[in-house]
Amino acid sequence: MSKLFSSLTIKDITFKNRIVQSPMCMYSAEDGLASDWHFVHYGTRAIGGAGTIMTEAAAVSPEGRISPGDLGIWSDKHIEGLKRITSFLKQNGSVAGIQLAHAGRKGSYEVHGADSTLMRTKEEGGWEVMAPSAIPFSDNALTPKAMTFQDMETIRQQFESATKRAVAAGFQLLEIHSAHGYLLHSFLSPISNKRDDDYGGSIENRSRLLLEVIETVQTVWPKNLPLAVRISATDWDESGWDSESSQWLAQQLEQAGVDIIDVSSGGTLPNVTIPVGPAYQLPLAKDIKAVVKTMKVGAVGMITNAEQAETILLNDDADLIYIGREFLRNPYFPLQAAQDLRAEPDVPKPYERAFPKRK
Ligand code: FNR
């Protein structure tokens, strides 16, 4: 019996297998609206057998976008397109998850693509970016406005309203994006947070906004549905956020009632050396797994084949396997992985002739 294809129940939601499509921006939305592209893209991966589909970072406000192509959930007009997606995912056996995000100082990019570093000022049709401190992400990035307490209150309200809309759109899993140098991570990291008030300085203070956002979201996210947080477990720089800080944060998140921690890394500094290779972020997930009790741990980063994913789970290094780029290459990754592990793939009826049953 394969562990990758074993089910997992968290609260009222049963995940049919441990494969999660990692959130990946498509930069294909206009005005934040989900289009046919999103419907087909996510729907295809549900047909492909993913236990869970995380939609890409959905911005809680227009200024919370990375670029004008980001998906959004800042108004009720966004609900309909997302609902069409969640209905299809659920009909096809995948848990429908959404990632709520605010880009912070890494927003207002002109055209976002793999290599784009061009940012637009407000005068050029972009928007003012915000962060804990007025420190730009890189030499050619916009200098952010240092946030006031009122700005933080606005952020909490935006996450709350976005969560209500996520419920209305039929999502079953909500993930708060606190990774990759975006707003909530930029508060955590001592590199980007130089505040000297209750939101800067000690690790408790730097974590305050994230924990407040979680508390606010929990007032409107149904208690019977799982809540996740994505973190960058290290900034890959000795002056930054590190694995030990992440272990501490993971315990706070667990106490706060978070069900899943999705362990990514990086994004605070543009030019750090990251030891990229197969499952390169797994040691960070393992460190967290070692200190939490019941909170589930997600591993992500260059996990690309069935045996690798199965081994991570068998070693109890993580509970869920987030797959990113492999899903862009192969939307049917789970169906093939099931065959590789000699598990019974959950093949949609119209595709059965391509997957003859083993005798
Ligand atoms: C990403 N990633 C990402 N992460 C996130 O938390 N929210 C997002 O919206 C995005 N967007 C995004 C777009 C694209 C095109 C890529 C390739 C990646 C990161 C992604 O979820 C994943 O963590 C990394 O890609 C590492 O996993 P893989 O791709 O090695 O399996």
Q: How do residues 284-324 score in pLDDT, each as one tens digit? A: 999 999 999 999 999 999 999 999 999 999 999 999 999 99
Of 27, 42, 109, 182, which residue is the catalytic one?
Answer: 182
1 located within any domain: no
Q: Whose CA is nearest to atom 5 of ligand 1?
A: 23
Mean pLDDT of the residues in the chain: 96
- Does residue 182 have an active-site annotation? yes
What distance in angstroms lies between residue 328's CA and the mean position of ligand 1's atoms? 10
pLDDT class of 156 with cuts at 50, 70, 90: very high
What would the pLDDT profile of 35-52 be if each residue is shown by its tens digit? 999 999 999 999 999 999
Domain with residue 107: its CATH number is: 3.20.20.70
pLDDT class of 140 with cuts at 50, 70, 90: confident
359 located within any domain: no
pLDDT of residue 112: 57
If one counts the domains in the chain, the total is 1
156 located within any domain: yes
pLDDT at 117 over 90: no
Q: Helix 149-168 to helix 203-218 angle, to the nearest 10 degrees?
A: 40
What would the pLDDT profile of 266-277 be if each residue is shown by its tens digit? 999 999 999 999
| Bridge-based pairing state of the strands 71-72 and 95-101 | unpaired
SS (H, E, C) 274-320: CCCCCCCCHHHHHHHHCCCCCCEEEEECCCCCHHHHHHHHHCCCCCE
Range 193-208 average pLDDT = 98
- CA geometry: angle 291, 297, 301, nearest 5 deg: 120
Task: Give the residues surrounding ligand 1 with Cβ less than 6 Å away.
Answer: 22-25, 56-57, 99, 177, 179-180, 230, 264, 300-303, 323-326
Are 355 and 333 spatial neighbours (Cβ–Cβ below 8 Å)? no
What distance in angstroms lies between residue 25's CA and the mean position of ligand 1's atoms? 7
pLDDT at 125 over 90: no
Mutate to test the pocket of ligand 1, among 20, 25, 65, 185 (most ligand atoms within 8 A of CB): 25
What would the pLDDT profile of 331-351 be if each residue is shown by its tens digit? 999 999 999 999 988 899 999
pLDDT class of 114 with cuts at 50, 70, 90: very low
Structural domain boundaries, residue 53: 8-354
% of the chain residues with pLDDT over 70: 98
pLDDT class of 54 with cuts at 50, 70, 90: very high
Range 134-157 average pLDDT = 95
pLDDT of residue 116: 62
DSSP codes of every residue in 135-198? --SSTTSPPPEEPPHHHHHHHHHHHHHHHHHHHHTT-SEEEEEE-TTSHHHHHH-TTT----ST
What would the pLDDT profile of 213-245 be if each residue is shown by its tens digit? 999 999 999 999 999 999 999 999 999 999 999
Are 95 and 10 spatial neighbours (Cβ–Cβ below 8 Å)? no
pLDDT class of 141 with cuts at 50, 70, 90: confident
pLDDT at 144 over 70: yes
Q: Whose CA is nearest to atom 25 of ligand 1?
A: 324
Token reading at 261: 């921690």
- 53 or 110, which is more confident? 53
Q: CB neighbours of 290 closer than 8 A, spacing ≥ 6?
A: 247
pLDDT at 355 over 50: yes
2 located within any domain: no
pLDDT at 124 over 90: no
% of the chain residues with pLDDT over 90: 92
- For CA atoms 137, 143, 148, 154, the dihedral sign is negative
168 located within any domain: yes
What would the pLDDT profile of 62-85 be if each residue is shown by its tens digit? 999 999 999 999 999 999 999 999
What distance in angstroms lies between residue 324's CA and the mean position of ligand 1's atoms? 6
3 located within any domain: no
Give the ligand 1 atom nearest the CA of 300. 27
Mutate to test the pocket of ligand 1, among 19, 20, 21, 24 (most ligand atoms within 8 A of CB): 24
pLDDT of residue 287: 98
pLDDT of residue 301: 98
pLDDT of residue 111: 65
Token reading at 47: 């047909």
pLDDT at 123 over 90: no
- CA geometry: angle 300, 58, 277, nearest 5 deg: 20
